[in-house]
Amino acid sequence: MLNGKKIVLGITGSIAAYKSCLIIRELIKKGAEVQVVITPAGKEFITPITLSALTHKPVISEFFSQRDGTWNSHVDLGLWADAMVIAPATASTIGKMANGIADNMLITTYLSMKAPVFIAPAMDLDMFAHPSTQKNLRTLQDYGNHIIEPGTGFLASTLEGKGRMEEPVNIVARLEEYFSNEDIKPLAGKKILITAGPTYEKIDPVRFIGNYSSGKMGLALAEECASQGADVELVCGPVSAKMSRDYPNIHRTDVESAQEMYEACKAIYPTMDAGILCAAVADFTPETVADQKIKRTGDDMIIRLKPNPDIAASLGKMKRAEQKLVGFALETNNEESNAQDKLKKKNFDFIVLNSLRDKGAGFKTDTNKISIISAEGRKDFPLKSKVDAARDIVDEMVSTFNS
C-alpha cells in the first residue's frame, strides 16, 4: 500500500526526533520514497547527514540550498507528495501550523501541501494539556489533518500519559490504513472522460459563436470523480471557472472548438471506463473562417454554418459493452421527450436533464436542478449546489458500474 508513495517527513525540535529514523526505515522498507524537511531546532536533535543517508536524498531545511543558493520550492513539494507526516511535532510547530505562521521551510511546505497531513505530537504532558495546545490541535483536526496519538487520541477525557509521540511502527500503520481505504474508493482504478464548458466556433480572428456555459458543472463532476478515486481526463472548452484545488488524478486538455473537442474525445474514450459529456458543444460552425477581421459594409451579413461532429453520438457508437456513457440534455421545452430521444440516439446509459425553465438551473449558476433519466425510469432531484448535483450524478454512475 505504501509502495511507490511519496512521503514528505517533517521533523521538528523534540527529543523524539531520533525516532524519525525508525519512521524512515519503516517507510522505505515498505517501498515509499521519503523527503525530509527539518526545522532549525530539529537539526539540534538529529543531523541531516544521518537522515539523508537513510533517505538517499538531501535533507531540506532552508528556503535556499546552502551549497548553490538554489530555491527549495515548498510549492513543488506540496504537489509532489502523496502524504506529509510531521513526526515529531512540537507544541511550537503545531501552534504555527494552526495559525499560518510560515517562518520556516517546514511550515511553508505544510501550508502548500495538497496531500493529506498526519501529525504526531511530541511534548511533555503539561505542554500537551495546555488549553492553547489542545485548541491548536483541534484547529488542525478541523482543517482535515490527521492527529496521530497513542491510545484514544488527544480528545480523550483523560490526558494521563499524553504528549509522548506515537511509536514509529504505529505511525506508519496509520498511513497504510489511510492508503488502503483509498484503494477501496468507489471509482478507484476507473478512468473517466469528462467534457466541460462551451466551445467557440471562429468567425474571424476576433469573433466567434459561443454559448453561456461556465464549466462549473463539468469541473464539479471532474472533482467528484477524482475524489471518488478515478483517474480523470478532463477535456475542457474555454472557461474561466477554476477547480477548488489541484488534483494529481485530473489530467486536463484545453480545447476551443467542437472539432478540437471531438478529436480529443475520440482519442481518449477508447481507453476509458466511462465518459460524462457535460460540455455545451456548438452544433454548427461557420463554413469558412475569415483570415482578417470582417469589416462593416452597410449590407446584411450572412454567415453560412455547417454541422459540427456530434461527439456524444460518435462515442455512443464506439462504446464497448463494459463502457459507460452519460450525457446531458439542456432543454427549454418538451424536456422529457427531448431527453428520452437523446438517451436513445446517443446510446447513453443515462442522461442528466436540466431545464432553463427552472430558476437556478443550467448555465453559469452555482446551482442546478437535475433529473436522471434511464431505461429504468426517472429520478428528480431538488435544486442543489453543482457540487452536490455532481455527487448525485457520480453516485448514479457508480451504481451502473455495479449493476
> Quick one: which segment of 108-116, 162-170, 266-274, 307-315 binds ligand PMT (CB under 6 A)?
307-315
136-144, 156-164, 243-251, 321-329 -> range binding ligand PMT (CB under 6 A): 321-329
Closest CA to 7 of 62, 78, 65: 78
Q: Half-sphere exposure (CA, 13 Å, Cβ side) for 307?
A: 3
Work out whether 281 is an interface residue with ligand PMT (CB under 6 A). yes
Q: Which of 217, 221, 230, 397 binds ligand PMT (CB under 6 A)?
A: 217
Q: Which is nearer to ligand PMT, 178 or 363 (CB)?
A: 363
Residue 329 near ligand PMT by CB under 6 A: yes
Q: Is 211 a catalytic residue?
A: yes
In the set 213, 257, 355, 367, which binds ligand PMT (CB under 6 A)?
213
Residue 214 lies near ligand PMT (rule: CB under 6 A): yes
Binding residue for ligand PMT, selected from 7, 98, 278, 398, defined by CB under 6 A:
278
The sign of the torsion formed by the CA atoms of 37, 39, 41, 43 equals positive
Q: Which of 310, 336, 392, 396 binds ligand PMT (CB under 6 A)?
A: 310
Q: Smaller CB distance to ligand PMT: residue 88 or 327?
A: 327
- If one asks whether residue 328 binds ligand PMT (CB under 6 A), the answer comes out as yes
Closest distance of CB 143 from ligand PMT, Å: 28
Site for ligand PMT in 70-89 (CB under 6 A): none
With beta carbons less than 8 A apart as the criterion, state whether 315 and 233 touch.
Answer: no
DSSP string for 56-79: TSPPB-SSB-TTT--B--HHHHHH
Task: Write down the least CB distance from residue 359 to ligand PMT, Å.
Answer: 14
Q: Using omega within 30 degrees of 0 as the cis cutoff, is the peptide bond preceding 88 cis?
A: yes
Q: If you write DSSP's letter for every residue of 15-54 in order, what string do you get?
A: GGGGGHHHHHHHHHHTT-EEEEEE-TTGGGTS-HHHHHHH
In the stretch 231-270, what mask flags binding to ligand PMT with x, by CB under 6 A? ---------------------------x------------
Euclidean distance between the first and the last CA atom of the chain, given in angstroms as a whole number: 28
- 371 forms part of the interface with ligand PMT (CB under 6 A): no
Of residues 72, 170, 211, 249, which has the active-site annotation?
211
As given in the structure block, the three cell numbers for residue 313 are 453520438
Listed ranges 8-16, 113-121, 245-253, 303-311: which one lies at the site for ligand PMT (CB under 6 A) = 303-311
Question: Can you tell me the distance from the alpha carbon of 16 to that of 14, in angstroms, rounded to the nearest whole number?
Answer: 5
Contact pick of 80, 178, 179, 363 for ligand PMT (by CB under 6 A): 363
DSSP label at residue 172:
H
Q: Which residues of 93-102 are buried (b: 16+ CB within 10 A; e: fewer)?
A: bbbbbbeeeb
Task: Pinpoint the alpha helices (H) of 65-115.
Answer: 74-80, 91-99, 105-112
Residue 280 contacts ligand PMT per CB under 6 A: yes
- Residue 391 CA to residue 22 CA, distance in Å, equals 41
Nearest to 229 by CA among 386, 401, 57: 401
Q: Give min distance, CB of 293 to ligand PMT, in A.
A: 27
Contact residues for ligand PMT (CB under 6 A)?
A: 195, 197, 213-218, 258, 277-281, 283, 308, 310-312, 327-330, 342, 354, 362-364
Catalytic residues: 211
